[in-house]
Amino acid sequence: MTERIVLAYSGGLDTSVAIGWIGEATGAEVIAVAVDVGQGGESLETIRQRALGCGAVEAYVADASDEFANEYCMPTLKANGLYQGHYPLVSAISRPVIVKHLVKAAREFGATTVAHGCTGKGNDQVRFEVGIQTLGPDLKCIAPVRDLALTRDKAIAFAEEKGLPIETTKKNPYSIDQNVWGRAVETGYLEDIWNAPTKDIYDYTATPEFPPAPDEVVISFEAGIPVAIDGVKVTPLQAIKELNRRAGAQGVGRIDVVEDRLVGIKSREIYEAPGAMALITAHKHLEDITVEREQARFKATVGQRWSELVYDGQWFSPLKRSLDAFIEDTQKYVSGDIRMTLHGGQAIVNGRRSDTSLYDFNLATYDTGDTFDQSMARGFIELWGMSAKVASGRDIRVAGQ
């Protein structure tokens, strides 16, 4: 039986050429796997037909947009997932769901190898291959661009020679990855980190310099998940899409950052994540009134480590699974409403309410009705500073000897 290889297929030039390129280099049949994670653009059927036209013997397509929103975006929201405090893990959280479908397709079609279009410089090669090793430890992995020397100029020449049904162009200098959680842009003139991004970089967001009138929105949460916008019930996918539209119109969610890649190099990235950043902002503010102080402090540490694990391709790791359990426990009372104003590139919270809030007006007020016993403060301060006071006395005594 001829060996079969499953290829993560985007419908673009590189992966379209990879179908025939892999076949010629290995003698294997190629099954193209396309997964919709809300990236927009062409229909899955169009992509399926292109894969077959480029020589794939089978084409597996999956609409995973709700799955992605529910099982990958929502855990990221609950963790307030931001790598290095900036990046909302746009590409990092899409790779595990794609891996899941790659392994499923490999089982379905009897493939022994999984291929992806990543280079040897990026994070995604690690995310794909570690995920595949975890879910399908018997499967082999290849990367045509990295392992078979499939460069872009070779890809264009191959596509033209074979008459493949794919546009071949050198005009677009950027590498772009997008899904419903956000959009990532890199390479080209952006590699000079002094160069400012130009307007043509952006697609999910309007320029914040000339915004429309402020847009006030109320987001309702239940156990850390958005369930309504302005009183209208929504699914997680609908919530993300609606805030992509409304926050994007105000230029919210533009991120320009130099980040530390897993492979050890620094990389300049431009991100657009209007819905993700608006939701994370709202979620953080709701946690501020519903999560106990010490639990909240520790959750910030957990969220940072969670984000690093996900960025580093460890979505399926035991540690990440354990951190998930802690984060999920913290979300028990994260229910209520957040009111925020979207305007000029900012999402500013100006109202909070929750039936499970820890905010006590009578304890917080300085006016009549204050129930806080201020006489307790003096003794508290004495005890709180006792350790430092004793140590300081020791330091003075020793220094004087």
- Residues annotated in a binding site for ATP: 8-16, 117
Mean pLDDT confidence for 331-350: 98
H/E stretch holding 112 reads: none
Is residue 276 a contact partner of residue 182, using CB atoms and an 8 Å limit?
yes
pLDDT of residue 384: 95
H/E stretch holding 192 reads: none
Q: Is the pLDDT of residue 41 over 80?
A: yes
pLDDT of residue 170: 59
Domains of the chain: 4-171 (3.40.50.620), 176-291+333-353 (3.90.1260.10), 361-399 (1.20.5.470)
Catalytic-labelled residue, pool 4, 50, 94, 124: 124
Mean pLDDT confidence for 311-315: 97
Q: Is the pLDDT of residue 191 over 70?
A: yes
pLDDT of residue 248: 98
Q: Is the pLDDT of residue 203 over 80?
A: yes
Q: Is the pLDDT of residue 316 over 70?
A: yes
More confident residue, 401 or 7: 7
- Residues annotated in a binding site for L-citrulline: 87, 123, 127, 175, 259, 271
Is residue 4 a contact partner of residue 29, using CB atoms and an 8 Å limit?
yes
pLDDT of residue 400: 85
Q: Is the pLDDT of residue 265 over 80?
A: yes
pLDDT of residue 312: 97
Q: Is 175 a catalytic residue?
A: yes
Catalytic-labelled residue, pool 146, 147, 175, 337: 175
Exposed/middle/buried for residue 136 (C-beta within 10 Å: 0-12, 13-18, 19+): buried
Q: Is the pLDDT of residue 268 over 90?
A: yes
pLDDT band (50, 70, 90) for residue 281? very high
Q: What is d(CA 299, CA 226) in angstroms, rounded to the nearest whole number?
A: 20
Mean pLDDT (the chain, rounded): 93
Q: Is the pLDDT of residue 307 over 70?
A: yes
pTM: 0.94
Q: What is the pLDDT of residues 325-336, one digit of tens each?
A: 999 999 999 999
Q: What is the pLDDT of residues 116-171, one digit of tens each?
A: 988 888 899 999 999 999 999 999 999 988 887 777 777 778 778 878 877 655 55
Q: What is the pLDDT of residues 47-106, one digit of tens each?
A: 999 999 999 999 999 999 999 999 999 999 999 999 999 999 999 999 999 999 999 999
Is residue 44 a contact partner of residue 37, using CB atoms and an 8 Å limit?
no
Instruction: Find all residues with CB under 8 Å of 207, minimum gap 6, and list them.
Output: 199, 251
pLDDT of residue 131: 97
User: How large a percentage of the chain has pLDDT more than 70?
Assistant: 98
Catalytic-labelled residue, pool 4, 48, 95, 254: 95
Q: Is the pLDDT of residue 379 over 90?
A: yes
- Residues annotated in a binding site: 8-16, 87, 117, 119, 123-124, 127, 175, 259, 271
Kindly report the backbone phi and psi dihedral angles of residue 233, in degrees, each rounded to the nearest multiple of 5, phi listed first.
-60, 140
Is residue 313 a contact partner of residue 379, using CB atoms and an 8 Å limit?
no
pLDDT of residue 154: 79
